[in-house]
Structure 1
């Protein structure tokens, strides 16, 4: 099975005063380095966001127009993959507690289904998951409809497993207080 992944790192970070989340540090590493580390098993990683130095080779790209939301970013990243995978991972850059083990568990949970996504402690779906590439192709909207579309709307017709977090892996960093509280 081939596994490629897309890191969503191009948002506005309004609740963090517009900070570049990819460059924000947590536990001595940038949030982007945490995300890339969580995707160690992926044969290819595309980061949808502005280019910054990384320890692992990745491809950087941006959705057009910028700030099109998670669906536009996911599909832009998917189109930038050099090779079509069997499964596509998606990870928001602001989830530093996600690990390679998380993605292995997501792949297990997705077996026989269209995909699987991690939840937070309250059971809400997070932007950390895996999708069968052919199923993503099947729900892809017209290019004009991608900008501003919610991930919930894109994935509404798919059979997705929801995976409860182990520890704090389902927590994201939306505010400076979230970062402090990790």
Structure 2
């Protein structure tokens, strides 16, 4: 089943000391490039983030949420117009070094919105695939730009999946220097 994708590459990266976290390298490849590689099967991809990413996008369109740094729901709203013609939309963070096409395929056929849950039962909302109309309704139901992902997910029926693949989980994100080091170790 085909899908389009919104990659969230904004944020302040406070826990990483600032800078452009998606451009940090894991195994010699930027996390953003790893996510974009996993999206090779996407019909259309848009990156939401600052203009400083433009030189690293190799033709992938970029938009900016308003206000800049406004959070994931604002970013999803900004990216939605670019991908709303697709039947399904993947919503992904840009700091997922272990995201794979296989992980996305597992999510693409499941209901209004499919997300992974970790070993503690926590939803991973920035590794999700939505039915486009469900995402549209959810964005309309939580019109505040500073709404939380929990609020956005609360507007639809969510299918929770566990990771059945090999290797580190696709939702592993690098929000701290320690997480980045752990990701590096997994690739050694």
CA RMSD of aligned residues (A): 1.8
Q: For residue 69 of structure 2, what is the aligned residue in structure 1?
A: 67
In the alignment, is residue 152 of structure 1 matched against residue 150 of structure 2?
yes
8 Å contact kept, 1:7–1:45: yes
Q: For residue 122 of structure 1, what is the aligned residue in structure 2?
A: 120
How many residues align structurally? Answer: 177
Q: For residue 186 of structure 2, what is the aligned residue in structure 1?
A: none
| C-alpha displacement of 1:140 | 1.8
Q: For residue 107 of structure 1, what is the aligned residue in structure 2?
A: 108
Q: Post-superposition, which runs of at least 4 consecutive aligned residues in structure 1 deviate over 6 A?
A: none
Aligned counterparts of 2:181 and 2:122: Cα–Cα separation in 1: 22
8 Å contact kept, 2:3–2:108: no
Map 1:48-59 onto structure 2 (within 5 A). 48-50=48-50, 51-54=53-56, 56-59=58-61
In the alignment, is residue 13 of structure 1 matched against residue 7 of structure 2?
no
| C-alpha displacement of 1:8 | 0.4
| C-alpha displacement of 1:52 | 3.3
8 Å contact kept, 1:123–1:164: no
* Structure 1 segments unaligned to the other structure (5+ residues): none
* Structure 2 segments unaligned to the other structure (5+ residues): 184-188
What is the TM-score normalised by the length of structure 1?
0.89
Aligned counterparts of 2:118 and 2:19: Cα–Cα separation in 1: 23
| C-alpha displacement of 1:107 | 1.3
